[in-house]
Every structure is written in structure tokens, then in C-alpha cells.
């Protein structure tokens, strides 16, 4: 058959994503560093250690991203490096971040920068964490220092990464470092303060750089109750709590159940694009057996390493179709799966990108894609057991190995398309369904 190509717009952004704590290494001022030292908190008691050694040599992996054809990269800054003690801004840390951001630009990539990606300074935890209203003042101080030192290099900003994941894992399930207060009231208070922090950061950035694009990276899981009406009701409640609660507040500034009532000053309209993190669909049942979701995948489901999640490409189109109502540009700020032997990732890439191409074909404003992740990194409470990288990492030697999916992504980025030739080469099982005839 003749080669079939699904072309993307000429200005489409092809990127990868990383986060500071997961790649930089030896971040001893972070709450995560202290948390992971105790037995039983990280799977197999693994440690982040040197991680991917980005603090010393991010440039080497940025070279690999450029070699992969990326024209964008999403990375985060580490609050605990920039402000290791309350009120003390570390100029050397800001200078290092300036070097890294300059390296991104010099390699022909546009940076998207996240201000808070799950990790906090130890001193913040001691002062009440996000349960204390004073956190807004602290966050403003941190953001102001970053904007003054680095703002000229950052066209796109993420204030908070996956706020509802952070709240759930930190205050409700115990998977993340525990603050002084946990439980439902603490989680709701933290959510309100995260919204206030986002609004404050948005206005600080826009006042200094009006042309900058600012948003959050919001994880949009698909919740499916498939046994009965009660399960479907529960799936709807989870969707409201996890997806609609935060987005609705950013639209009009209003708090909704169970956050309480009233409005947050300056919150309405504080997003210039929709940042979509999408990974999986979850089957839920009520009452939930443990936590919020039931990972009882059906026999037909394709499931990634460690029972992480179902590979469900159609869900990405569903999310894009859902968020287009906000009338904003859409960026897929994270999308990936743990797959150490790389037998699923080529299939995952091509099928999920097909859903993005489909959305663009309907004139939905999807402007870019950031694959999670460039290189294997420290996956929080899962340690090194989940390998998300297009490039593999030997933690002991720091040796990198390109996976076939990394080579595939390079062909996609350079060709600005997905094609039947790529499928035949990297995921031949797709030929009958994706490129029949």
C-alpha cells in the first residue's frame, strides 16, 4: 500500500516533559528527600539519589531532546533550591536555572516552565504547608523572585502541576509526604490555598510579561462505573471532584461543593490555555474498596507496567473534546506510560497522537504535545520501578540507551506526522486498524 501520512500543523510543538525533583538529583532541602529516607515509603526502599544528574549536566539530555527533533521542552523549577530558607533567595540556583533555560533556547526548543511540581521546601512544611493561608504570601515571594530572574526566558508557564493529584496523594492517601494535617478538611483547605497561589502567580507573571501564556497542568483521568447505576453515580462524583471542581473555579472564581462557597479574588479567568495531562481510564465501584478507584481492569484491557493504568487512547480525544468548551488553546502537557521493555510505547504513541490528529482535523485548537518523559526518572513513591522514558537510564552508571519509541518519536517530530510506514516499522499490529487497505 502507498504510505499514508497524518500531518500536523506546521507550527505544532513537539516536546517532552520532565520535573526538577525527578531528574536533578541530591535535592536535600526538599520534603521529598526527607520522606524517601524512611523505610516503606518508596517501593523497594529505593532512593532518588543522583536521579538523572540534571543539576550538574541537564545539557546532555537537552542535546538528546534536540537530536530527537523536539522544538519544545517542559521542565520545572525547584522551590527548595531557589528558596532553601524562608526569605533567602539563592542567586546561584537561579543562575543555574538560567543556564538550563538558555540551553533549551540554544537548542531550538521553547521552554514551558512549571513553578510547583509536587515538591516543597522543608521549611514550608514546618510552617503549615498548604493548609496555612500564609502559604500564598510565601508562594508570591518565590514566584516574584523567579519572574525577576528568569521571566525573559519563559514564554509559557505552568503554576501548579496536577493540583488534585497532589491534594489526593498528600492529604488523603498518604502516597506523598505527609503534612502536619491530613484528612478531608485539610485536603479542601489545601485546595483553596492552591487556587489562591495559582491566582497570585498568574497576576505576578502577567504584570511583568503580559504576552506570557500561563495556566496549570491538569490531570484529566476518565472515570467509568460499568457495573450498575450506583457505580456510574460514583464515577460522576469523582469526575466532579477531580476534574470539574478545579476547572470551574478557574473559569469564574467561584468555590463549589465541597470547597465551600464564595469567590477567590483575582481567580476568574486565570488561564490562557488548557494544559492537559492524560494517562488512563479508571474503572470505579461504590463503595470504593481502597481509596477512590478500583484498578480491576477487564480481560480486554491493555495495561502498562506495574498495573499503572489502562492504555485507552480514545480517552485523550474525549478529554480534548471536553475542554474545548473553554475556548482556549490546548496543550497536551503530559502523556505517557511506564514500559521498561518498550513493547507498548510505540503503540501508545501512535494511537494517542492519532487522537490528537483527529481532534485537530475537527479544528480543535490543540497546539502541542509533551511526552512524559524524555528519560527514565524517579517516579515518586514508585521509585525506579516505573520507566516512562523514551530514553532508558541505568541509575548506577548514568548510561543512557535510546529505546525504539525514542527513535519513533524522532521520526514523528522531524516528519511532523504519523504515518503507515512508522506503524509498519514500530507497531505492525496497528496496520489493520489504523492504516487498513
Which cell numbers hold the place of 211?
504576552
Backbone φ and ψ for 287, nearest 5 degrees, come out as -75, 150
Judge whether residue 137 has pLDDT over 90. yes
Judge whether residue 418 has pLDDT over 80. yes
Mean pLDDT over residues 187-201, rounded? 98
Judge whether residue 295 has pLDDT over 80. no
Percentage of the chain beyond pLDDT 90 is 92
**Buried b / exposed e along 38-70 (16+ C-beta atoms within 10 A):** eeebbeeebebebbbbbbeebbebbebbbebbb
All structural domains of the chain, each given as residue ranges with its CATH number in brackets, are 5-434 (3.20.20.80)
Q: Which residues pair with 224 in a beta bridge?
A: 283
Q: Mean pLDDT for the chain?
A: 96
Q: Residue 226: pLDDT band by 50, 70, 90 thresholds?
A: confident
Percentage of the chain beyond pLDDT 70 is 98
Q: Count how many residues are written for the chain.
A: 437
**Buried b / exposed e along 371-391 (16+ C-beta atoms within 10 A):** bbbbbbbbbbbbbbbbbbbbb
Hey, is 173 helix, strand or coil?
coil
Q: What is the pLDDT of residue 297?
A: 79
Q: Residue 219: pLDDT band by 50, 70, 90 thresholds?
A: very high
Q: Residue 245: pLDDT band by 50, 70, 90 thresholds?
A: very high
Q: How many CA atoms lie less than 13 Å away from 117 in the CB half-sphere?
A: 25
Parallel, antiparallel or unpaired: strands 213-219 and 274-277: parallel
Q: How far apart are CA 154 and CA 24, in angstroms?
A: 19
Q: Find how far residue 49's CA is from the centre of its chain.
A: 22
Judge whether residue 183 has pLDDT over 90. yes
Q: What is the pLDDT of residue 299?
A: 81
Q: What is the pLDDT of residue 298?
A: 77
Output DSSP code: residue 310.
B
Beta strands in 306-435 (DSSP E): 330-334, 366-372, 391-393, 400-402, 417-419
How would DSSP label each residue in 340-359? TT-SSHHHHHHHHHHHHHHH
Q: What is the pLDDT of residue 294?
A: 65
Q: Residue 300: pLDDT band by 50, 70, 90 thresholds?
A: confident
Q: What is the pLDDT of residue 1?
A: 60
Task: List, for residues 83-109, the tens digit of each pLDDT value.
Answer: 999 999 999 999 999 999 999 999 999
Which cell numbers hold the place of 389?
522514558
Whether the CB-CB separation of 100 and 58 falls below 8 Å is answered with yes
Q: What is the pLDDT of residue 313?
A: 98
How would DSSP label each residue in 52-114? T-HHHHHHHHHHHHHHTT-SEEEEE--HHHH-SBTTB--HHHHHHHHHHHHHHHHTT-EEEEE
Tell me if the pTM is above 0.85.
yes
Selection from 374, 430, 426 nearest residue 62 by Cα: 374
- Give the dihedral sign, CA 186/192/196/198: positive
Q: Which uninterrupted H or E stretch holds 394?
A: none
Whether the CB-CB separation of 95 and 101 falls below 8 Å is answered with no
Task: List, for residues 156-182, the tens digit of each pLDDT value.
Answer: 999 999 999 999 999 999 999 999 999
Q: What is the pLDDT of residue 291?
A: 62
Q: Which residues pair with 88 in a beta bridge?
A: 85
Q: Which residue has the cell 548510561?
A: 399
Task: List, for residues 7-27, the tens digit of each pLDDT value.
Answer: 999 999 999 999 999 999 999
Q: What is the pLDDT of residue 345?
A: 98
Q: What is the pLDDT of residue 288?
A: 82
Kindly list the distances between the CA atom of residue 17 and the CA atoms of 165, 193, 201, 325, 390, in Å, as whole numbers in the listed order: 17, 26, 21, 26, 11
Q: What is the pLDDT of residue 378?
A: 98
Q: How far apart are CA 306 and CA 321, in angstroms?
A: 29
Whether the CB-CB separation of 307 and 343 falls below 8 Å is answered with no
How would DSSP label each residue in 191-260? HHHHHHHHHHHHHHHHHH-TT-EEEEEEE--EEE--SSHHHHHHHHHHHIIIIIHHHHHHHH-B--TTS-
Q: Which uninterrupted H or E stretch holds 6?
A: strand 5-7
Amino acid at each position: 500500500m502507498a504510505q499514508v501520512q497524518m500531518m500536523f500543523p506546521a507550527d505544532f510543538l513537539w516536546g517532552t516533559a520532565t520535573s526538577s525533583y525527578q531528574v536533578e538529583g541530591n535535592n536535600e532541602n526538599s520534603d521529598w528527600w526527607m520522606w524517601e529516607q524512611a523505610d516503606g515509603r518508596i517501593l523497594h526502599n529505593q532512593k532518588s539519589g543522583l536521579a538523572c544528574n540534571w543539576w550538574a549536566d541537564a545539557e546532555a539530555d537537552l542535546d538528546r531532546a534536540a537530536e530527537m527533533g523536539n522544538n519544545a521542552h517542559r521542565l520545572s523549577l525547584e522551590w527548595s533550591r531557589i528558596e532553601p530558607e524562608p526569605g533567602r533567595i539563592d542567586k546561584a540556583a537561579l543562575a543555574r536555572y538560567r543556564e538550563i533555560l538558555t540551553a533549551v533556547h540554544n537548542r531550538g526548543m521553547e521552554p514551558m516552565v512549571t513553578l510547583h511540581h509536587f515538591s516543597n521546601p522543608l521549611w514550608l512544611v514546618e510552617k503549615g504547608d498548604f493548609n496555612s493561608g500564609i502559604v500564598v504570601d510565601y508562594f508570591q515571594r518565590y514566584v516574584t523572585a523567579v519572574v525577576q530572574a528568569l521571566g525573559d526566558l519563559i514564554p509559557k508557564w505552568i503554576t501548579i502541576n496536577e493540583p488534585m493529584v497532589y491534594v489526593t496523594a498528600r492529604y488523603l492517601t498518604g502516597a506523598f509526604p505527609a503534612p502536619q494535617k491530613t484528612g478531608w478538611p485539610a485536603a479542601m483547605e489545601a485546595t483553596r490555598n492552591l487556587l489562591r497561589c495559582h491566582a497570585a502567580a498568574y497576576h505576578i507573571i502577567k504584570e511583568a510579561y503580559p504576552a506570557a501564556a500561563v495556566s496549570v497542568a491538569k490531570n484529566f483521568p476518565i472515570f467509568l462505573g460499568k457495573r450498575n447505576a450506583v457505580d456510574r453515580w460514583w464515577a460522576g462524583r469523582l469526575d466532579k471532584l477531580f476534574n470539574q471542581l478545579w476547572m470551574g473555579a478557574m473559569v469564574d472564581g467561584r468555590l463549589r461543593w465541597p470547597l465551600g462557597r464564595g469567590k477567590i479574588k483575582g481567580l476568574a479567568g486565570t488561564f490562557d490555555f488548557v494544559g492537559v495531562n492524560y494517562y488512563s481510564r479508571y474503572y470505579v465501584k461504590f463503595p470504593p474498596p481502597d481509596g477512590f478507584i478500583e484498578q480491576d481492569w477487564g480481560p480486554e484491557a491493555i495495561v502498562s507496567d506495574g498495573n499503572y493504568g489502562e492504555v485507552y487512547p480514545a480517552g485523550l480525544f474525549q478529554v480534548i473534546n471536553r475542554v474545548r468548551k473553554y475556548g482556549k488553546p490546548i496543550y497536551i502537557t503530559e502523556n505517557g506510560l511506564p514500559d521498561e521493555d518498550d513493547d507498548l510505547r510505540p503503540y501508545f504513541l501512535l494511537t494517542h497522537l492519532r487522537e490528537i490528529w483527529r481532534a485537530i482535523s475537527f479544528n480543535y485548537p490543540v497546539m502541542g504535545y509533551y511526552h512524559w518523559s524524555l528519560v527514565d526518572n524517579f517516579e515518586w513513591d514508585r521509585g525506579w520501578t516505573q520507566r516512562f522514558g523514551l530514553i532508558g537510564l541505568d541509575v548506577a552508571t548514568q548510561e543512557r540507551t535510546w529505546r525504539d519509541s525514542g527513535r519513533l518519536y524522532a521520526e514523528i517530530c522531524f516528519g511532523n506526522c504519523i504515518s503507515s510506514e512508522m506503524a509498519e516499522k514500530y507497531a505492525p499490529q496497528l496496520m489493520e486498524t489504523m492504516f487498513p487497505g
